[in-house]
Amino acid sequence: MAAPADPRRLCRLVQEGRLCALQEELRAAGGAGCAGPARDTLLHCAARHGRREILAYLVEAWDLDIEAANRDYKRPLHEAASMGHRDCVRYLLGRGAAVDCLKKADWTPLMMACTRRNLEVVQDLVEHGANPLLKNKDGWNSFHIASREGDPLILRYLLAVCAAAWKTESKIGRTPLHTAAMHGCSEAVEVLLQRCQYEPDCRDKCGLTPFMDAIQCGHIDVARLLLEKHKACVSAEDSLGAQAIHRAAVTGQNEAVQFLVSELGINVDVRAASTRLTALHYAAKEGHISTIQTLLSLGADINAKDERNRSAAVNRFLLLQRCLRVPAFGSEDGLLRASLLAGGTERPVWGCPSPLNTHVKQLFLCSDCTQEARPVWSAPSLR
């Protein structure tokens, strides 16, 4: 009886495209049915690495099952489509592979193909009957996935073969326009604005608009497109009452903050409706030192109070109190000095003694920048 072949060695031969060596190994072993640790067959490996000749050899000489599923329920067609190997895709389709087979999370080969900028593979799958309207477990169809990658050719093709493909949203209410804006795909956004009929300020379940997505991710070119061609509302609020400037402060997008205030005229001290926080409060809570400096340079009020009567300087100190293991204090020095120079008038309540508290206290009490305007210590008790 022939000894079983080593699956790892066989897979390596497939990866390297060594057909002759693979043939010898399989003849010696008397079979090609061994599976790898993820239950990958040699067909999965050949399809993943684009080895069309080996794929054909395994199917035709050893009658391997082209519908074999691995641990993630991927078929060889999923592997070939996800890697953009058109010759392998065409071979498997020609052998009758199920075009809309589902892997884990309900992804079809067409969805996998749409994660790549490979129009030909997408066309081959659609021409063999792939359904662009099928959705995965998150509610994304192939058009939605293609909008994330941002290839305008694929988007136009999918609209040409399925005009309703754009009328979709995920389970959390996000549209392809949200997704393209979030990922900064300006060409895709142009196609979506030209060919689809999205509402100017369509919102997901968190209340985010595509304009907010573009701003909070720093894609100013996309934000301009949405303003110019879609008449997006710059002051739209999410479900917590936060506007685009607040979202930009949370994510530390300094250029977006500058764009909103300097070019669009957004009030730098505008408050979120429910929390009453300004952009400066949000930046301080997140510890974005450069964003704080940007906001201060734009005229943000360092002493603006939140609903608990705290300023941005105190919000930042509360964050520092929770980070007692921070090994270096250079950026915090810059923040506290900026606060004092900007006229901050609140004293944080010093908690239990610690190296960080001592360091921060020294900065407040002994900083050179207090010589001209020593702050007035009159803050309410913090809990």
Q: Which of 103, 51, 106, 49 is nearest to 78 (CA)?
A: 103
Apex 310 CA angle, 257 and 304, nearest 5: 45
Decide if 134 contacts 162 (C-beta within 8 A): no
The CA–CA distances, whole Å, from 250 to 122, 277, 288, 290, 329 equal 38, 11, 8, 12, 21
Q: Examine the fold and report which residue of 232, 255, 286 is the final residue of a domain before the chain moves on.
A: 232
Task: Quote the percentage of the chain above a pLDDT of 90.
Answer: 73
- pLDDT at res. 106: 99
Q: Examine the fold and report which residue of 211, 232, 253 is the final residue of a domain before the chain moves on.
A: 232
- Higher pLDDT: 145 or 353? It is 145
> What values do phi and psi take at 355, rounded to 5?
-55, -40
Range of the domain at 89: 1-103
In this structure, are 277 and 321 located in the same domain? yes
The CA–CA distances, whole Å, from 13 to 16, 18, 162 equal 5, 5, 41
**Mean local confidence (pLDDT), 179-204:** 98
* DSSP code for 368: G
- Higher pLDDT: 364 or 233? It is 233
Domain CATH for 32:
1.25.40.20
Residues with Cβ < 8 Å from 223, sequence gap 6 or more?
Answer: 181, 211, 214, 215, 232, 256, 259
Apex 293 CA angle, 291 and 299, nearest 5: 105
Q: Which of 299, 363, 310, 306 is nearest to 334 (CA)?
A: 363
Decide if 112 contacts 83 (C-beta within 8 A): no
pLDDT digits (tens, 9 = 90+) for 85-141: 999 999 999 999 999 999 999 999 999 999 999 999 999 999 999 999 999 999 999
Domains held by the chain: number: 3
In this structure, are 378 and 247 located in the same domain? yes
In this structure, are 365 and 288 located in the same domain? yes
In this structure, are 243 and 382 located in the same domain? yes
Buried b (16+ CB within 10 A) or exposed e, 205-218: eebbbbbbbbbbbb
- pLDDT at res. 36: 77
**Mean local confidence (pLDDT), 14-31:** 93
Tokens of 83: 């890697």
- pLDDT at res. 87: 99
- pLDDT at res. 311: 79
- Higher pLDDT: 7 or 272? It is 272
Asked whether residue 109 is assigned to any structural domain, the reply reads no
Tokens of 62: 């050893």
In this structure, are 44 and 140 located in the same domain? no
pLDDT digits (tens, 9 = 90+) for 297-325: 999 999 898 888 887 765 655 555 444 33
In this structure, are 70 and 138 located in the same domain? no
pLDDT band at 2 (very low <50, low <70, confident <90, very high): low
In this structure, are 239 and 192 located in the same domain? no
- pLDDT at res. 356: 42
- pLDDT at res. 372: 33
In this structure, are 98 and 10 located in the same domain? yes
pLDDT at 56 over 70: yes
Q: Examine the fold and report which residue of 198, 232, 266 is the final residue of a domain before the chain moves on.
A: 232
pLDDT band at 63 (very low <50, low <70, confident <90, very high): very high
What distance in Å separates the CA atoms of residue 281 and residue 306, rounded to the nearest whole number? 8
The tally of CA atoms less than 13 A away on the side-chain side of residue 102 is 9
* DSSP code for 369: G
- pLDDT at res. 163: 98
Decide if 147 contacts 179 (C-beta within 8 A): yes
In this structure, are 228 and 238 located in the same domain? no
Q: What is the mean pLDDT of the chain?
A: 86
In this structure, are 380 and 286 located in the same domain? yes
Tokens of 345: 């008038």
Q: Which of 42, 85, 48 is nearest to 65 (CA)?
A: 42
In this structure, are 378 and 332 located in the same domain? yes
- pLDDT at res. 80: 99
pLDDT digits (tens, 9 = 90+) for 274-287: 989 999 999 999 98
pLDDT band at 35 (very low <50, low <70, confident <90, very high): confident
- pLDDT at res. 32: 79
Task: Quote the percentage of the chain above a pLDDT of 70.
Answer: 80
